[in-house]
Amino acid sequence: MKKIFLLAFVCSCLTATAQDNFGPIFKQINTEIQSNSNAYTTLKDASATIGHRLTGSLNGAKAEEYAYNLLKSYGCEVKYQPFEVESWNRKTIDVKVGSSVNTMETVRAVTLAHSPVEANVTAEIIDVGNGLESDYKAIQAQVKGKIALIYLGVLSGSPEGTITLHRSEKTAIATKYGAVGVIIINTVKNGVLLTGTASVTGKLIPIPAVCIGLENGMALKEKLKTTQQFSTLSMTNFSGLIKARNVIATFKGTELPKEKIVIGGHLDSWDLATGAIDNGIGSFAVIDMARAFKKLNLKHSRTIEFVLFMGEEQGLLGSRAYVAQAKQKKSMDKIDFMLNYDMTNDPKGFSTSREEMEPLFTSWGADITKADANFTNLFLAGASLHSDHQPFLLEGVPTGGGAGGKLPNNSGPYYHSDGDVFKLVDEQGLKNTVKNGTMLAFALANTKTIPVKKQTEGKLEAFLINQRLKEPLKIAGEWRWKD
């Protein structure tokens, strides 16, 4: 039976591939975007005229209007999708460190999102290494009442195969063991400070959490080997209900209009800079994909929605709202695929959560290479968390996007920092994201059969376990299956 099923599956993929002759359309898409893409110029303009795009702020509302009006100007059918959620913003911060309470000195730091509205904590610092559960085993009795010092990534000399967790998950573990504060050491040289959420739920956490620079953090670790160190974490922040809007451009399908392909990228950014890399290059690529569809008047069987999500940085707020509204309308089962573009640049191939897509993706990729020599038809399969594909993934929807590209101008270390500015953007890399994203969207919307379906609860559970996502989902309180 297994051999018969496998043969049937392979045959279905080959049949679908044989019916897909997208080469001529791919050439049109390549020519149009290479010659007329607006992604670079519009991102440059938005960076200069809006600045940061923090959800719930005046700048965030300006960004929503900018995207809406831009899509309207291209002739797209566009709408707002309002949502109201609890949001967060920083106000003041003062971090001091020293060998005694009376000799502490100020250290450069940035507050991690969803820290308390007000906090003023003074306590001894305890080094918990990478901040994983395993790091607490020998010292867990000593952690209560102390400020946990945690490395953001994986420290040199850690056991082979040591995994890392998101800063929010490391903060949750520290809270579990009774820490009264968290200091996270950034992994980037030259004192770069990264913000980001320290909450796995998108709601306020009970203890203050901050990030300090690599050099200051590693020097502090050395001091802790021989002498006690203390810290004061003092801060004020805003937390409250805010209104925000996803921006959605809809292209109705001709033959299967109730089936839907979602193409998303988060429009919001943190407030330390303009967020040109995270996620200007992704969101403005998505906008330009919609422009190209309209300009070329591309016909497609399934409906496509190009979605600019707000609130990703503060806990996937916009994509969670999108999925919640789809479930309320009982339309979640109609979403066949979700492509997410978050800091995607110059992709060389396609990625997806479902390895069964390889025959189709690589067959389309072979046609793309004929139109675009930059594309090497790389294929990557696997699932991850912490971007706007996550709410879709946890409903069993297949997800994917670009693969194999590199961020331009060594910009990776500057995401979430005050260095994330427009000068880091590469125009051709951005064009390549638009080109290949448009081609993949067109192919998914037109292929006769997509060989993967929404996963059932049982299959989804097994899949997430196989992808080693059970632990982070349990920490976040999003594991809904019984052990």
What is the pLDDT at residue 123?
A: 98
- Annotated domain spans of the chain: 21-86+241-452, 100-228
Neighbours of 138 (CB within 10 A): 8
Residue 69 in tokens: 């009006």
Distance of alpha carbon 249 from alpha carbon 74, whole angstroms: 10
Assigned CATH topology for domain 21-86+241-452 = Aminopeptidase (3.40.630)
Distance of alpha carbon 263 from alpha carbon 320, whole angstroms: 15
What is the pLDDT at residue 16?
A: 45
Sole residue written with tokens 């250290």? 107
Distance of alpha carbon 393 from alpha carbon 384, whole angstroms: 9
Residue 14 in tokens: 């080959």
Distance of alpha carbon 309 from alpha carbon 266, whole angstroms: 4
Assigned CATH topology for domain 100-228 = Glucose Oxidase; domain 1 (3.50.30)
CA dist 29 to 285, 288, 289, 298, 448, Å?
14, 12, 10, 9, 20
In the chain (483 residues long), the average pLDDT of successive 10-residue segments reads 40 49 96 98 98 94 98 98 90 97 96 97 98 95 98 96 94 98 95 92 93 97 97 96 96 97 97 95 98 97 98 93 97 97 98 97 96 94 97 98 96 89 97 98 97 96 97 93 90
What is the pLDDT at residue 10?
A: 42
Residue 331 in tokens: 């339309």
Which is nearest to 125 in space by CA: 224, 234, 226, 193?
224
CA dihedral 202, 395, 261, 243 (to 10 degrees): -30
What is the pLDDT at residue 19?
A: 58
What is the pLDDT at residue 126?
A: 98
Which is nearest to 176 in space by CA: 119, 212, 135?
135
Distance of alpha carbon 483 from alpha carbon 472, whole angstroms: 15
Report phi then psi at 147, rounded to 5.
-95, 120
Which is nearest to 265 in space by CA: 274, 257, 252, 277?
277
Distance of alpha carbon 57 from alpha carbon 60, whole angstroms: 5
